[in-house]
Amino acid sequence: MIFYPFLANFLFSNNSLAVGLFLGSSIHDTAQVTGASLIYDQQYTNENVIKISTVTKLIRNTAMIIVIPFLAIKQNKVWASENSLSSILKLFPLFIFGFIFFIFLRTFGDFLLIQNQYSFYYFSESQWNSTVLFLSSISKILLTISMAAIGLSTDIHSIKKMGIKIFYFGFIIALFVGILSFSIIKFLIL
């Protein structure tokens, strides 16, 4: 999260699309993608990178809607034993439903208010835009709080017990994903 914004600027020399794609596709966690793009914006004053990297990561997250239930069904053979709606719904983590809800809310809000100039439950376009801007500001504050909470809850003794091999493994995977992301952007997109 801290190193990749500087690496992205070095590799793609402030190309908003390339940097946003790189940060959104090579960093694992959504909060870390947002944090890295905020670092990039603060260092290189390029707000477009935040939007591009966030959308890239959210597109990656959308795959969870298909992948998580598929893996759960394959692993647990739920379809064979219980083929009811409640057992199917248990396969989806709750955040997936929240994720889908907010995707539709933002999409329909933007479409109905901005594209078609309709009033939606007493919301005008300017009220919608100010609400989105306010929630975006709140999300940055909440992201900072959550990242601090994660850092403060880290137990160094537990990390030492895991051993150094897990860090080597994580580093190799992160390096592979970064190189793959760079290669695809450099040779197929640019």
State pLDDT tens for residues 39-49.
999 999 998 99
Indicate whether 177 and 165 sit together in one domain. yes
Within-domain flag for 105: yes
118 band by pLDDT with thresholds 50, 70 and 90: low
On whether both 100 and 150 belong to a single domain, the answer is yes
Task: Check pLDDT > 80 for residue 137.
Answer: yes
Asked if 149 and 185 sit in the same domain, the reply is no
Domain identity same for 143 and 185: no
Q: What's the average model confidence in pLDDT over 75-81?
A: 59
As a whole number of angstroms, the distance between CA 10 and CA 187 comes to 17
Based on the fold, state whether residues 14 and 47 are members of the same structural domain.
yes
Number of domains in the chain: 2
In a domain, 69, yes or no: no
- Considering the domain architecture, whether residues 149 and 159 belong to the same structural domain is answered as no
Do 15 and 52 lie in a common domain?
yes
Contact 57, 38 (CB under 8 A): no
pLDDT confidence tier of residue 108, bands split at 50, 70 and 90:
confident
The domain in which residue 179 lies consists of 1-62+155-190
For residues 42-69, average pLDDT? 86
Q: How confident is the model at residue 98 (pLDDT cuts 50, 70, 90)?
A: confident
As a whole number, mean pLDDT of residues 170-175 equals: 91
Residue 185, class by beta-carbon neighbours within 10 Å (0-12 exposed, 13-18 middle, 19+ buried)? Answer: buried
- Domain identity same for 127 and 162: no
Same domain, 6 and 38: yes
- Residue-averaged pLDDT of the chain: 82
